Amino acid sequence: MIAQRLIPHSLRPVVLRDELVELGDLFRAYQQRTEPDLGLLADLHERKARAFMAWADATDDINLRLEARRAEQAAVAARFQQLQRTGHGADGDGPTVARLLAVPTQWEHARSVLAHVADHSPLPGPEARLLTVMLTLRTAHAGTGNLVGQDLTTLGLTDPEGLVGELTCCGWLGIPGTTSDLLASRPENPTTVTVPSLVPHADGSGPFTFGKKMRPKLSGWAQRVVTDKKLRKAKAPAAARLLAMTLATRTSIDGRLGPGGRGVALESLAAWVPVDPEELQRLVDRLTAADWLTEAALTDSHLTGRLSERVLPLTCPLLSSRTAPDRPGQAGHRTLSSEAEMAPPD
C-alpha cells in the first residue's frame, strides 16, 4: 500500500509494481524517523511522482495523475524548506538570500513564461524574443494589459516602434491606435494592448497556471532584471538583457549556472536566447563587465560560471536537476511510462 492505495498484484509492468511497493515501505520507514531529513523526503516524493505518473499512464486514472502532481509539489516544498534551513551556499555556510521572487512556485512560473515564449515566439531574433516575454508578462492573466512608452524604450531595442509594428502586423499583438501613440503613452494615460493567444478560453483556461495576483509579481521581477542599473549604464542590448533574464532562472541556489551548478548546455541555451556562438561570447563578456556574471567560461558544449552576489536576489534557482527541464518544451520530469525503460534486464 502507498498513499492509502492498494497496489494491484496484477499491475504491469512488474518493475512499476515493485517500485510502488518499495516506495510504500520507504515512506513508512521515514515516518518512523526521530529526525527529519528533508533531502531524503524530497527524493522520495520525486520518485513517487514518477511512479504515480507511470501508474496513471498504465490505468488511465486521472486521480493517480493528480496524486503525482501533488507529490511533485511536495518535493519542491521539502527542498525549499531544506534551503531555508541551510542558507543559499552549497556548504550551508552562506547567508540566506532575500529574493524578489521568494518561493519555488514563483520560480517555476517565471521559467514557464520563458519556455512558453521560446516555443511560441511570433518573430525570430533576441530582440523580438525579449519584447514578447515582457508583453506576455503584462497580459498573461487576461490577454490584455496596460503599457506606456517607457516600458518599451528601456529594453535596449534598436527600433522599438518597428518591432511593435511587426508584432501587430503578424496578428500576435493588438493595439487600439498607432505604434507612435503607444510609444508616446505616459503613466497617467497608458495604452491597453491585447495578445489574442493569451485570452482565456471559454472554460477560463489558458497557457499559464498562475493567477491574477501572481502576474504582476512576475512582471515586476522581469522589469527589475532588464532595467538593472549596471545593464542600463552599460547600454546593454536587448540580447544581453534576455540572456541575463534567462540565466537568472538557470542557476543553483548559490548562483552557479545550470542544474546542480554544472553549467548550461549551449544547445538548450540557444533555444532560450536565439544567438549564434560568436554573439553569445560577446553577450557573456558584456554581462561579465556589468558585474552580472563572474567566472564565466564558454566551452564547446556549456556555459559555466556563476551570477554575481549583487544579482542573487533576482535569481530563480533550480531546486533539482531531475525535475527541471533544460530546454523549452522538454518534460519537467522523467517518467516510468516506457515499457522499454521498465523492462527487467535479460
Instruction: List, for the chain, all residue ranges whose pLDDT scores fall below the cut of 50.
Output: 88-94, 321-325, 330-346
pLDDT digits (tens, 9 = 90+) for 137-169: 999 989 999 999 999 999 999 999 999 999 999
State residue 75's pLDDT score. 85
What is the 3-class SS of the chain, one letter each residue? CECCECCCCCCCCHHHHHHHHHHHHHHHHHHCCCCCCHHHHHHHHHHHHHHHHHHHHHHCCHHHHHHHHHHHHHHHHHHHHHHHHHCCCCCCCCCCCCCCCCCHHHHHHHHHHHHHHHHHCCCCCHHHHHHHHHHHHHHCCCCEEEECHHHHHCCCCCCHHHHHHHHHHCCCCECCCCHHHHHHCECCECEEEECHHHCCCCCCCCCCCCCCCHHHHHHHHHHHHHCCHHHHHCCCCHHHHHHHHHHHCCECCCCEECHHHCCEEHHHHHHHCCCCHHHHHHHHHHHHHCCCEEEEEECCCEEEEEECHHHHHHCCCCCCCCCCCCCCCCCCCCCCCCHHHHCCCC
Domain residue extents for the chain: 14-95, 104-314
State residue 283's pLDDT score. 97
State residue 80's pLDDT score. 73
Task: Return d(Cα 222, Cα 211) in angstroms, integer.
Answer: 17
Q: Please give the angle made by the CA atoms of 225, 226 and 232, to the nearest 5 degrees.
A: 115
State residue 192's pLDDT score. 96
pLDDT digits (tens, 9 = 90+) for 34-47: 888 888 998 899 99
Residue with cell 549583487: 310
State residue 85's pLDDT score. 62
Task: State pTM to two decimals.
Answer: 0.72
State residue 320's pLDDT score. 57
Q: What backbone torsions phi and psi does residue 345 show, to the nearest 5 degrees?
A: -65, 150
pLDDT digits (tens, 9 = 90+) for 270-315: 999 999 989 999 999 999 999 999 999 999 999 999 999 999 999 9
**Are the CB atoms for 107 and 214 separated by under 8 Å?**
no
Task: Return d(Cα 185, Cα 160) in angstroms, integer.
Answer: 14
**Are the CB atoms for 124 and 92 separated by under 8 Å?**
no
**Are the CB atoms for 158 and 128 separated by under 8 Å?**
no
**Are the CB atoms for 147 and 138 separated by under 8 Å?**
yes
pLDDT digits (tens, 9 = 90+) for 306-316: 999 999 999 99
